[in-house]
């Protein structure tokens, strides 16, 4: 049965995904032409909308060539962030059509914003069909190209709820990851290791128990979850509840004391049946190994798909030896609620962009502080250089500032690839030092080498009250002394002074005080994340910068000090 399902999936994805992959290659051969065509298509699509009329889309479209087209577009449409678009989105939410795009959204993806109000990112039928339809097929097709047996077993996919609520006009809002899973072809859906109702479990611990109780019973060959910290938590759940899993699997039950809505519990239990053979196999693994890892209970794992770029790299070392050596750990790709920029198609970090579905603009990293920066086109990017991207989509985003710093990789066909470095607002300055999150990470890593102490987690906060930074460390060895912590912090401070000349200048002049060091309790990140999710944050979207000026989050970490 498994072989038949794999062959069916491979054959159908080979056709559907292969067609779209060839279209992607074709568009990528001439990024300059593709960019012009795509911008014209988007402007023509939205020219009769409120936004289109206010910004003279008809006039822009009269440009005779791509150079004039871009010039007119930049003149008539200023760069924006979500707060600039919020009034238009609010009109859509309250039932108006033809505001940012023709008609109304089919749903909204919600995500955190710069204010207390969340962002409501519209998803149009056009965007849903192209990005979460055609390009998802390419994504799945790509898995087969890298690992032909990827669909020989089950898929463990950790996503948010498709429906979390409704806008005032009744339009659904929910999770982009849930939408992506929900829109997978039916022959792929049957491979999921758990029913979708599991993602509606409100209790964070109960949800992870069910995911792993059902997943560990099966032969999982593909895991998809954007955030690698989720993988760490899955294994923590295994370590804590392994014996309970085995008992449930043997009896075909679900632990009675889990906090699960009765209706959801009934739906889950309908999928369960006694499996004494698998229970015996799991007991034998526990007898053989002091700690049972995924490489033991999922030996046929083919692909793990998570973020590996930016600050998510901090979590990768926590499970680098936990999976089969033959498995491909593939980068999830540059992907956000606002825009799925592209796909990673190989074993690198580089995202292949969609020049036939999005119009991209970029500002060079060196030009970010310029009040009148030069906007570059896709074909003008240089490999190895870093840029901030702005995107225009078929879903109502126009010259939208992603506030991300990307690095350009090798070309796919003739189109540059990119990978995430950090958020642009991951730069903190108290007295003009412009300290980057990545510089802080580098300084800590070097201090680990210099002192022999290993951190399990770390985070830094700018504290204006002391005109300095407070650095929080969770060490792998919880027996480190206060003297060792202070010595480690001294190395971090010295490394930062070497890495960042402005930081050194401010420290030398005493305008920036010596950073303060604090030791965190065990599992500090996990505790913090659980608190945030209990307060309403969505697990699939949970992200944490490691250098912040955020008093609300800072207060939480102050309470996690040993």
Rounded CA-CA distance 108/177 in Å is 12
Q: Could you report the per-residue pLDDT of 458-470, keeping only the tens digit for each?
A: 999 999 888 899 9
Choose between 504 and 302: higher pLDDT: 302
Q: Give the angle 555-307-200 at the CA atoms, nearest 5°.
A: 70
Is 326 inside any structural domain?
Answer: no
Is 524 inside any structural domain?
Answer: yes
Choose between 281 and 135: higher pLDDT: 281
Is 444 inside any structural domain?
Answer: yes
Q: Could you report the per-residue pLDDT of 239-280, keeping only the tens digit for each?
A: 999 999 999 999 999 999 999 999 999 999 999 999 999 999
Q: State yes or no: pLDDT of 114 exceeds 60.
A: no
Percentage, residues of the chain above pLDDT 70: 97
Is 478 inside any structural domain?
Answer: yes
Within 8 A by CB and 6+ apart from 547, the residues are 426, 428, 435, 436, 437, 440, 459, 460, 461, 462
Mean pLDDT of the chain: 92
What secondary structure does DSSP assign to 202-243, as a single string? Answer: -SHHHHHHHHHHHHTTS-EEEEE-S-HHHHHHHHHHHHHHHH
Q: What is the pLDDT of residue 300?
A: 97
* Helix (H) or strand (E) segment spanning residue 330: strand 328-331
Is 377 inside any structural domain?
Answer: no
Asked if 330 and 305 count as a contact pair (C-beta separation under 8 A), the reply is yes
Q: What is the pLDDT of residue 12?
A: 75
Q: What is the pLDDT of residue 1?
A: 61
Is 329 inside any structural domain?
Answer: no
- Domains in the chain: how many in total? 1
For residue 531, the domain's CATH number is 3.30.300
Q: State yes or no: pLDDT of 116 exceeds 60.
A: no
Is 130 inside any structural domain?
Answer: no
- Residue (of 102, 164, 133, 76) closest to 398 by Cα position: 76
Rounded CA-CA distance 388/370 in Å is 13
Q: State yes or no: pLDDT of 115 exceeds 60.
A: no
Q: 50-54, 119-123, 538-542: which range is least confident on average?
A: 538-542
Q: Give the angle 399-159-240 at the CA atoms, nearest 5°.
A: 135
Q: State yes or no: pLDDT of 42 exceeds 80.
A: yes
Q: What is the pLDDT of residue 505?
A: 80
Q: Could you report the per-residue pLDDT of 355-406, keeping only the tens digit for each?
A: 999 999 999 999 988 889 999 999 999 999 999 999 999 999 999 999 889 9
Which structural domain range is residue 492 located in?
A: 429-558
Report the pLDDT averaged over residues 80-96. 96
Asked if 85 and 396 count as a contact pair (C-beta separation under 8 A), the reply is yes
Is 110 inside any structural domain?
Answer: no
Q: Could you report the per-residue pLDDT of 506-540, keeping only the tens digit for each?
A: 888 777 899 999 999 999 999 999 888 888 777 66
Per-residue CA distances from 112 to 37, 337, 538 (Å): 32, 10, 10
Q: 36-45, 113-122, 296-305, 317-326: which range is least confident on average?
A: 113-122
Q: What is the pLDDT of residue 389?
A: 97
Report the pLDDT averaged over residues 409-430. 89
Rounded CA-CA distance 492/5 in Å is 53
- Residue (of 508, 495, 507) closest to 469 by Cα position: 507
Q: What is the pLDDT of residue 541?
A: 62
Q: Could you report the per-residue pLDDT of 274-323, keeping only the tens digit for each?
A: 999 999 999 999 999 999 999 999 999 999 999 998 767 777 888 989 99
Q: Could you report the per-residue pLDDT of 136-187, keeping only the tens digit for each?
A: 889 999 999 999 999 999 999 988 777 888 999 999 888 777 777 776 777 7
């Amino acid at each position: 049965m498994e072989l038949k399902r794999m062959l069916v999936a491979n054959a159908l994805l080979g056709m559907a995904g292969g067609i779209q992959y060839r279209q992607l290659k074709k568009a990528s051969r001439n990024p300059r032409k593709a960019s012009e065509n795509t911008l014209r298509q988007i402007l023509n699509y939205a020219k009769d909308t409120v936004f289109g009329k206010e910004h003279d889309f008809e006039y822009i479209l009269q440009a005779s060539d791509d150079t004039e087209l871009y010039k007119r577009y930049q003149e008539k449409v200023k760069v924006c962030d979500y707060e600039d678009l919020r009034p238009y989105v609010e009109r859509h939410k309250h039932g108006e059509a033809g505001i940012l795009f023709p008609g109304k959204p089919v749903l909204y993806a919600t995500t955190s914003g710069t204010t207390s109000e969340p962002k409501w990112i519209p998803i149009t039928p056009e965007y849903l069909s192209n990005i979460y339809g055609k390009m998802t097929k390419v994504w799945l097709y790509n898995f087969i190209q890298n690992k032909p047996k990827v669909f020989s077993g089950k898929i463990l996919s950790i996503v948010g709820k498709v429906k979390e609520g409704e806008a005032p006009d009744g339009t659904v809002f929910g999770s982009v990851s849930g939408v992506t899973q929900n829109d997978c072809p039916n022959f792929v859906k049957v491979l999921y290791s758990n029913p979708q109702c599991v993602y509606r479990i409100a209790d964070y611990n109960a949800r992870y128990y069910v995911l792993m109780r059902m997943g560990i019973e099966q032969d999982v060959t593909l895991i998809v979850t954007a955030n690698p910290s989720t993988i760490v938590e899955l294994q923590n759940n295994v370590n804590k509840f392994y014996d309970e899993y085995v008992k449930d699997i043997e009896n075909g039950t679900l632990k009675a004391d889990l906090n699960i809505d009765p209706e959801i519990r009934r739906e889950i239990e309908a999928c369960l049946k006694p499996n004494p053979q698998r229970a015996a196999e799991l007991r034998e693994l526990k007898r053989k190994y002091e700690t049972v890892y995924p490489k033991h209970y999922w030996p046929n794992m083919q692909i793990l798909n998570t973020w590996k770029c930016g600050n998510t790299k901090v979590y990768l070392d926590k499970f680098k030896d936990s999976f089969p050596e033959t498995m491909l750990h593939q980068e999830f790709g540059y992907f956000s609620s606002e825009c799925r920029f592209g796909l990673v198609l190989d074993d690198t970090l580089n995202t292949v962009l969609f020049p036939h579905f999005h119009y991209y603009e970029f500002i060079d990293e060196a030009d970010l502080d310029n009040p009148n920066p030069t906007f570059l086109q896709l074909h003008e990017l240089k490999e190895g250089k870093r840029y901030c991207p702005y995107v225009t989509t078929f879903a109502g985003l126009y010259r939208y500032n992603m506030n991300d710093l990307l690095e350009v990789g090798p070309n796919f066909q003739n189109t540059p690839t990119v990978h995430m470095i950090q958020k642009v607002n991951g730069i903190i300055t108290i007295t003009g030092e412009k300290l980057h999150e990545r510089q802080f990470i580098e300084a800590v890593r070097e201090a680990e080498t210099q002192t022999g102490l290993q951190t399990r987690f770390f985070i830094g906060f700018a504290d204006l009250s002391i005109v300095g930074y407070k650095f929080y460390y969770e060490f792998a060895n919880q027996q480190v002394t206060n003297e060792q912590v202070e010595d480690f912090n001294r190395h971090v401070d010295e490394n930062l002074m070497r890495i960042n000349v402005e930081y050194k200048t401010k420290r030398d002049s005493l305008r920036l005080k010596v950073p303060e060091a604090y030791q965190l309790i065990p599992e500090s990140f996990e505790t913090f994340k659980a608190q945030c999710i209990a307060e309403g944050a969505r697990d699939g979207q949970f992200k944490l910068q490691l250098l912040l000026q955020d008093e609300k989050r800072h207060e939480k970490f102050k309470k996690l000090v040993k």
